[in-house]
């Protein structure tokens, strides 16, 4: 396969007007990266400024309502930060486990979607589309109420805490989305690669693992990272089913403080932390997409 390198002449050669802005942007990106020799996240300052502004407005509104004898808003936030951050780390833990589990199962579900055995293929298709199109919150509730609260293995009883069930619930839609990412990537590899591998007497399994999948990694990475960012933001859903993550803790802090003016400040503070984590991932994804979009 010859690779089409990004050249400066591309925008002029493109006849499709809709591609022109994107092509120009991708070229600039590629050019900067070439000269710098390293990849860049190219974080956009204005995105952060907007969020900080929102946060400050929240603080200002709250500050204006501060009554005599109460500590300032920032001091209050600072006081709660250790607890909230512990909650945030819990969000990240849930997202990491759900992603790992969902990716592992989703990978094989994706393989099953291109199986030559019709029942396997149909079953995988059905599973994928069921979980892909079900609301995440509904899946969470299902897992919470359908999974047992403890399991007994060899006479030993292990409790299953709610957060584990919630993590499992979140991994289901991840699994379905990964399955689609994998299927799409596998099918995007020309069939001549399969034919070529078959003519060299590779088995179908060997072809999949050694020849097709390695060529897919690049294509799968951007949508997979995108999915992870979405999952991380969705972990706050677990607060509804009683997991003590950042959102639940924020609510608890607010009720302990019992000062309505704090609402906006606290919730923008939560937003700020998620932003801090997800934004670089999102930007990196955009960068990878740009890079691989040009290298056809």
Partner 1 sequence: MPATNAEPIVVVRDVHKSFGPVEVLKGVSLEVAKGGVACIIGPSGSGKSTLLRCINGLVPIDQGSIRVGEFDVHKLKTDAEKIALRKEVSIVFQQYNLFPHKTALENVMMAPIHVLKEGKDEVRLRAAALLKRVGLSAKADAYPGELSGGQQQRVAIARSLAMRPEVMLFDEVTGALDPETVKEVLNTIKALAQDGMTCILVTHEMRFAREIADQVYFTDGGVIVESGPPAQLFDHPTKERTRAFLSEIL
Min CB(30)–partner 1 separation in Å = 17
Positive/negative CA dihedral, 138, 140, 144, 148: positive
Q: Which residue's entry shows tokens 């994998």?
A: 182
Residues contacting partner 1: total by CB under 8 A: 20
Report the Cα 5 to chain-centroid distance in Å.
Answer: 29
Q: Is 6 helix (H, G, I), strand (E, B) or coil?
A: coil
> Which CB, 26 or 197, lies closer to partner 1?
197
Min CB(272)–partner 1 separation in Å = 41
Per CB under 8 A, 2 contacts partner 1: yes
Per CB under 8 A, 104 contacts partner 1: no
Per CB under 8 A, 64 contacts partner 1: no
Min CB(202)–partner 1 separation in Å = 6
Q: Is 110 left (phi over 0), alpha (psi -120 to 50) or beta?
A: alpha
Min CB(2)–partner 1 separation in Å = 6
Considering only residues 168-227, where is the footprint of partner 1 by CB under 8 A?
192-193, 195-204, 206, 210-211, 214-215
Min CB(217)–partner 1 separation in Å = 9
Per CB under 8 A, 1 contacts partner 1: yes
Is-contact 266 254, C-beta < 8 A? yes
Is-contact 140 166, C-beta < 8 A? yes
Binding mask 113-152 for partner 1 (x = CB under 8 A): ----------------------------------------
DSSP letter string, 143-188: HHHHS-SEEEETTEEEE--HHHHHHHHHHHHHHHHHHHHHHHHHHH
Q: Which of 168, 136, 139, 164 is nearest to 150 (CA)?
A: 164
Q: Which of 85, 41, 88 is nearest to 225 (CA)?
A: 41
> Which CB, 18 or 201, lies closer to partner 1?
201
Min CB(44)–partner 1 separation in Å = 33
Q: Tell me which residues touch partner 1 (CB under 8 A).
A: 1-3, 192-193, 195-204, 206, 210-211, 214-215
């Amino acid at each position: 396969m010859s690779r089409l390198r990004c050249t400066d002449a591309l925008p002029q050669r493109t006849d499709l007007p809709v591609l022109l802005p994107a092509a120009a942007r991708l070229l600039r990106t590629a050019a900067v990266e070439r000269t710098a020799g390293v990849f860049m996240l190219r974080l956009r300052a204005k995105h952060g400024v907007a969020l900080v502004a929102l946060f400050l407005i929240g603080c200002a509104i709250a500050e204006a309502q501060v009554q005599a004898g109460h500590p300032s808003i920032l001091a209050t936030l600072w006081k709660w930060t250790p607890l909230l951050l512990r909650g945030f780390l819990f969000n990240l833990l849930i997202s990491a486990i759900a992603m790992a589990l969902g990716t592992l199962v989703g990978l094989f579900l994706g393989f099953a979607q291109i199986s030559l055995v019709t029942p396997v293929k149909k079953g995988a298709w059905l599973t994928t589309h069921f979980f892909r199109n079900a609301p995440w919150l509904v899946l969470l509730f299902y897992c919470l109420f359908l999974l047992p609260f403890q399991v007994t293995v060899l006479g030993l009883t292990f409790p299953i805490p709610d957060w584990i069930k919630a993590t499992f619930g979140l991994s289901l839609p991840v699994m379905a989305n990964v399955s689609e990412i994998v299927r799409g990537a596998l099918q995007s590899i020309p069939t001549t690669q399969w034919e070529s591998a078959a003519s060299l007497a590779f088995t179908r399994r060997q072809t999949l693992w050694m020849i097709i999948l390695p060529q897919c990694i690049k294509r799968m990475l951007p949508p997979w990272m995108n999915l992870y960012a979405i999952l991380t933001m969705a972990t706050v859903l677990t607060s509804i089913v009683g997991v003590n993550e950042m959102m639940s803790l924020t609510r608890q802090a607010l009720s302990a403080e019992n000062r309505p003016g704090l609402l906006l400040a606290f919730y923008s503070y939560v937003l700020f932390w998620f932003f801090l984590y997800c934004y670089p991932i999102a930007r990196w994804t955009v960068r990878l997409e740009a890079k691989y979009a040009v290298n056809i």
